[in-house]
């Protein structure tokens, strides 16, 4: 080795670069873990009177740019950035694999952005939408300039797996959904609950708890003046103001008094079938015929 000092020097520099790279990688992983912990604990600390003020100020950079109901989006963005940074290192000699990973990452990011619409500033959402669309289009169109891959088996296996999951997954979900919509499943309480959770992707809120919440909220708001309410609305984000207008109109419509003026909002009408109205008391003039009811509006 003494005869080739440049080899030993190169090995030392290479080892140093590896150590520095590992330190940088570890720092990024620790940072990501901290953001994940902050996003996980933020809802709990935000309702804790003792820790709320310090917590909300110290981690404001985590949630400050996003809407209140998607405070965790910074963690998703960091995960996307980490995957993007790792793409050149995952397959350095396979541009096709790099492009495939990058495309899938951008598709997931694009879908999450459209679903969550996270930024509290509408213009930022529009700009992020256009930016992701352009980057995704560039990644797809770049496939035309890639050289022919020497590892075609990898792409064949991935394509078969993706297509199998998509076809079989759709068939299984459609079959289970059809079974859960049959009269037998609807009469079984357990299957009925499973059907509700599957079709709505959530549990139905408890009616009594919801009624108590609405009643308590309306009672507290009744004590406030219009100036106080206006001061609170002024501090809301644009999307929160828009939803507040929608919800207020909905409440005004659904919970309108029985004897309202002709110009006042009226409850939205629901269409219910004969089976859903079996055993219900029928009002006069709703189309009763031989003790049975056709499709009616209630």
Q: What is the pLDDT of residues 156-190, one digit of tens each?
A: 888 888 899 999 999 999 999 999 988 888 888 88
Task: Specify the pLDDT at position 257.
Answer: 56
Q: What is the mean pLDDT of the chain?
A: 79
Give tens-digit pLDDT for 99-136. Answer: 888 898 999 999 999 999 999 888 999 999 999 999 99
pLDDT of residue 22: 82
In this predicted structure, what is the pLDDT of residue 45? 82
**Residue-wise DSSP of the chain:** -TT-HHHHHHHHHHHHHHHHHHHHHHHHHHHHHHHHHHHHHHHHHHT-TTTHHHHHHHTHHHHTTB-GGGTTHHHHHHHHHHHHHHHHHHSTT-HHHHHHHHHHHHHHHHHHHHHH--BSSHHHHHHHHHHHHHHHHHHHHGGGGSPPPS-HHHHHHHHHHHHHHHHHHHHHHHHHHHHHTSHHHHHSHHHHHHHHHHHHSSPPPPHHHHHHHHHHHHHHHHTS-HHHHHHHHHTS-HHHHHHHHHHHHHHHHHT--SS--TTS--PPP-EE-TGGGTTPPPPTTS-EETTEE-SEE-
Region of poorest pLDDT, from 71-75, 145-149, 192-196, 207-211: 145-149
Instruction: Provide the pLDDT for residue 76.
Output: 92
How many other C-beta atoms are found inside a 10 Å radius of the C-beta of residue 78?
15
pTM of the model: 0.68
């Amino acid at each position: 080795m003494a005869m080739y000092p440049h080899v030993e020097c190169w090995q030392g520099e290479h080892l140093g670069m590896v150590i520095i790279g590992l330190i940088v990688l570890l720092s990024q992983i620790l940072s990501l873990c901290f953001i994940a912990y902050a996003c996980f604990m933020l809802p709990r600390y935000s309702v804790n009177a003792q820790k709320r003020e310090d917590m909300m100020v110290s981690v404001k950079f985590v949630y400050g740019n996003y809407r209140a109901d998607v405070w965790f989006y910074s963690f998703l963005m960091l995960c996307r950035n980490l995957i993007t940074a790792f793409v050149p290192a995952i397959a350095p000699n396979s541009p096709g694999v790099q492009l495939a990973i990058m495309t899938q990452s951008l598709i997931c990011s694009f879908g999450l952005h459209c679903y969550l619409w996270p930024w509290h500033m509408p213009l930022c959402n529009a700009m992020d939408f256009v930016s992701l669309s352009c980057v995704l289009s560039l990644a797809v169109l770049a496939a035309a300039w890639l050289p022919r891959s020497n590892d075609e088996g990898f792409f064949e296996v991935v394509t078969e797996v993706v297509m199998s999951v998509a076809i079989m997954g759709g068939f299984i979900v459609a079959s289970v959904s059809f079974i859960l919509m049959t009269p037998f499943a609807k009469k079984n309480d357990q299957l009925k609950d499973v059907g509700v959770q599957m079709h709505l992707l959530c549990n139905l809120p408890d009616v009594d708890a919801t009624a108590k919440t609405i009643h308590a909220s309306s009672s507290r708001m009744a004590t406030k003046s219009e100036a106080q309410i206006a001061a609170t609305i002024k501090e809301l984000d644009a999307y929160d103001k828009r939803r507040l207008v929608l919800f207020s109109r909905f409440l005004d419509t659904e919970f309108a008094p029985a004897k309202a003026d002709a110009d006042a909002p009226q409850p939205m009408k629901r269409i219910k079938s004969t089976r859903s109205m079996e055993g219900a008391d029928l009002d006069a003039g709703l189309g009763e015929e031989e003790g049975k009811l056709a499709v009616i509006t209630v």
